[in-house]
Chains A and B, each alone.
Chain A
Amino acid sequence: MTPATMAVPAARFADLLAAEWLKLRSLRSTYWALGVSALVVIAFNANAARADYADYPRYNTVMRAHFAGNALSDAFTNGAAMILILTAASVGAGTVVGEYSTGLIRTTFAAVPDRRALISAKATVVTAVITAYGAVVASVSFAVTQAILSGHGLGLSIGHPGALRVVVASALLAPVSALVGMAMGVLIRHSATTMVLTTGLLLLVPTFFTERYHWTACVRNALPFNAWGRLVQVDYGHMPYTLAHRYPSTVAGAWVVFAVWAGAAAVVAVGVVGRRDV
């Protein structure tokens, strides 16, 4: 071919989506991270259900009367949520820092000088893939845990009030975390620092803020991990043996927290990438 034979076609966003999808699925680490963590998350939840199932005969009447709350908290446990956050955030960050740390980002930007379109495509693909991952993990966890509890006739159907919210909130916690990881990756660009700070932001910071003061409660409620906690706690405010909430949070507020973190992360990732030297 001579230089003149190839006409330059119009740039399409769909091409960038296809390319980013190719990149994500051509790395073995993607499969390992998502596959192994999915099994661990499901195993954590199944184990919680198994423990409740085994202990149930020794529960008193009050505990038994409120068991639906237990059944739904077994459907997606705190530990499982932490693993989900770590996995999603590291895969999200990896799509960016994996390019910066290897130098691939220069090859990528030389091929696609429209950096904002490229990062938008990356964010779209990561969101889609990690949402699917979250949906599978949350759905399978719900099915497995309720199947275990159904041995005592305690398993709930997805139609039970709040059950669907537990599954959807747990599934969506994954893309929110992935986008935060990605934004941190674009900001920091170094693999290890990105992961330490992302883990700190998503998992450690929530433990620093209690509900004691109004402002700490506000910060606490505005964090994704706590927003998820609010969404999956179906018997929030009605649990026996717990203090009434001093500054209660709302379900609607928790959904807003999810949306704002995801949106802000996407805006930061696309906004920051602009004209910085690589």
Chain B
Amino acid sequence: MPGTGHPRDRGAVIEVNELTKRYGPTTAVRELSFTVRPGHVTGFLGPNGAGKTTTLRMLLGLAEPTAGTATVSGHDFRRHPRGLRHVGALLDAGDVHGGRSARAHLRALARSNRIAAGRVEEVLTEVGLAGAAARRRIGGYSLGMKQRLGIATALLGDPPVLVFDEPLNGLDPEGVLWVRGLFRKLAGEGRTVFVSSHLMSEMENTADQLVVIGKGELIAAESLVAFAARGTAPTVTVRTPNAGALAAVLASEGATVAPHDEETLKVSGVSAGRVGELAHEHHFLLRELTTEHASLEAAFMELTADSVEYLAGDSR
């Protein structure tokens, strides 16, 4: 784990403990507890209305918990007179005033936290909004540009902890790739990176740790690999003219083999590497050898099926 040896990094942990938020009769978050550690990109997953945004708002002192605590490095965020150097956050790309330019918006934020104006230019360049774009009024920005501005805001104070709520919304494919690289870089520097999403497919290539919630309650907090294992086991597809013979060999290895067509087998309980080795030993010609990973999406759907708030009519 990079960065964990650094004295300041060790404390930069998000700790949510028995956190509860009620709005009248509705409970948005119920006795939620989890920990987010430095050096990783941690995905915060849940269907729409699961309580992700409410949790992040309580973490940032924007909403008062009904019960429980949400702390960063052991401190209530509200105890910091200025926040940007402690936690960088993008909660909603729309949380800006459309009448200001991106540069003016960032300069005012930087000034309030006594961050040099030069840092504004650095982050504008980093997110690709330097030059003419920085002078334009934010009201004319696309959602993708606003997301970039929000990310620039989060980076402004060079904080040890970064929180992003649905940062990939509205980004083009190039932007998505860039953001993923950025998150990994930030985590690689030893920072705590916490990213929410309602789409498992977004997290699959972004996060290595997951916190999954549904209807305000914790469903899982574990590594992506462990989470994937909850779903169906990976299957190996192998295509060979010697399908019958290979099937027998694989069965003797203890694998489960299901013939797909004359040449194709679907194998589980054994890795693609082992299938390749066995084929090589027996001089079988392989025309295809692919692993179909357990679909995280499927694992996610299975686990959250009971806690989806808003289900389209015909899926019931």
The chain A residues found within 8 Å of chain B, CB to CB, are 1-6, 8-9, 11-12, 15-16, 18-20, 22-23, 26-29, 98-99, 102-114, 117-118, 275, 277-278
Contact = CB atoms under 8 A, between A and B. Distances in A.
Contacts of B87: 110
A19 B8 contact: no
Interface stretch (B97-105, B225-233, B253-261, B271-279): B97-105
B316 interface: no
A273 to B, nearest CB: 12
Contacts of A275: 64
A26 B60 contact: no
A108 B3 CA distance: 30
Interface in B68-107: 77-87, 89, 91-92, 94-101, 104-105, 107
A274 to B, nearest CB: 10
Nearest to B84: A111
Contacts of B153: 107, 111
Interface stretch (B109-117, B176-184, B262-270, B288-296): B109-117
B61 A104 contact: no
Contacts of B12: 3
B6 A277 contact: no
B61 A109 contact: yes
Contacts, number: 135
A99 B97 contact: yes
Interface stretch (B29-37, B155-163, B202-210, B306-314): B155-163
A102 B114 contact: no
A123 to B, nearest CB: 15
B78 A103 contact: no
B62 interface: yes
Given A2-B6, A8-B86, A106-B57, 13 more contacts: A4-B6, A4-B160, A15-B82, A20-B108, A26-B107, A108-B112, A110-B89, A110-B91, A111-B82, A112-B81, A114-B80, A118-B112, A277-B64
Contacts of B108: 19-20, 22-23, 26
A118 B111 CA distance: 12
Contacts of A26: 100-101, 104-105, 107-108
A19 B112 CA distance: 5
Contacts of A22: 104, 107-108, 111
14 contacts: A2-B6, A3-B160, A4-B6, A4-B160, A5-B158, A15-B112, A22-B104, A26-B107, A104-B96, A108-B109, A110-B61, A113-B60, A117-B81, A277-B63
A57 to B, nearest CB: 50
Contact of A3 (B77, B97, B107, B159): B159
Interface string B280-308: 00000000000000000000000000000
B121 interface: no
Nearest to B107: A22
B189 interface: yes
Nearest to B95: A103
Contacts of B148: none
Contacts of A105: 95
B194 to A, nearest CB: 14
A103 B92 contact: yes
